């Protein structure tokens, strides 16, 4: 994949992330349940947790260190993502999310980075695949947030 394609996909990720963050700037009740066990704030914590994992793994590779991807079954890691961010404020989670994005953008165009781990026990992903997966993940949760909050207005 060319560097221009990586840059375009990274910009798409940044735009999706900013739309996601903008949702949390509306002064809504973010304790509202979106999924059976997750509130909107829990979703923000979940996305932040995973974005920080991506940032850690790609920066480790960029600095020539062995990455240490998340361990455990996906359902367990997802539950951990909510538990570990539960006490954070919306503002703090957004700051962490933006910092993770800056780290990702710092390293994503390094051509020596070919494969990025996702989670132990899972295959590694190319830079393009990883960006696409993360963008789609954020988009899916943002769509669900918008649907639930729009339905509540009716």
How many domains does the chain contain in total? 1
Token output for 129: 């695949």
Distance separating alpha carbons of residues 85 and 71, to the nearest angstrom: 17
Phi, psi dihedral angles at 42 (to 5 degrees):
-60, -40
SS3 89: coil
DSSP per position, 48-61: HHHHHHHHHHHHHH
Instruction: Give residue 45's domain range.
Output: 3-153
| Closest by Cα among 45, 40, 13 to 27 | 40
Q: Which CATH number is 83's domain given?
A: 1.20.120.450
pTM: 0.95
Q: Cα 94 to chain center, whole Å? A: 11
pLDDT digit of tens for each residue in the chain (154 aa)? 678 899 999 999 999 999 999 999 998 999 999 999 999 999 999 999 999 999 999 999 999 999 999 999 999 999 999 999 999 999 999 999 999 999 999 999 998 899 999 889 889 999 999 999 999 999 999 999 999 998 877 6
Is-contact 16 139, C-beta < 8 A? Answer: yes
For residue 63, give the 3-state DSSP assignment: coil
Q: Across the chain, where does the E strand assignment appear? A: 115-116, 125-126
Residue written as token pair 């994503």: 108
Containing 149, the helix (H) or strand (E) segment is: helix 127-153
SS3 116: strand
Q: In sequence order, what are the residues at sequence separation of 6 or more whose Cβ sits closer than 8 angstroms to the Cβ of residue 68?
A: 56, 57, 60
């Amino acid at each position: 994949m060319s560097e221009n394609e990586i840059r375009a996909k990274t910009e798409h990720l940044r735009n999706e992330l900013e739309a996601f963050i903008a949702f949390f700037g509306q002064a809504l009740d973010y304790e509202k349940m979106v999924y059976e066990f997750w509130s909107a704030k829990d979703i923000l914590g979940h996305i932040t947790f995973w974005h920080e994992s991506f940032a850690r793994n790609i920066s480790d590779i960029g600095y020539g260190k062995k990455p240490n991807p998340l361990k455990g079954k996906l359902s367990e890691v997802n539950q951990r993502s909510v538990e570990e961010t539960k006490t954070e404020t919306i503002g703090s989670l957004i700051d962490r999310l933006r910092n993770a994005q800056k780290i990702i953008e710092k390293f994503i165009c390094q051509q020596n980075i070919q494969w990025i781990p996702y989670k132990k026990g899972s295959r590694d992903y190319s830079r393009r695949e990883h960006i696409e997966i993360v963008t789609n993940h954020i988009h899916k949760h943002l769509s669900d947030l918008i649907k639930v909050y729009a339905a509540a207005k009716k």
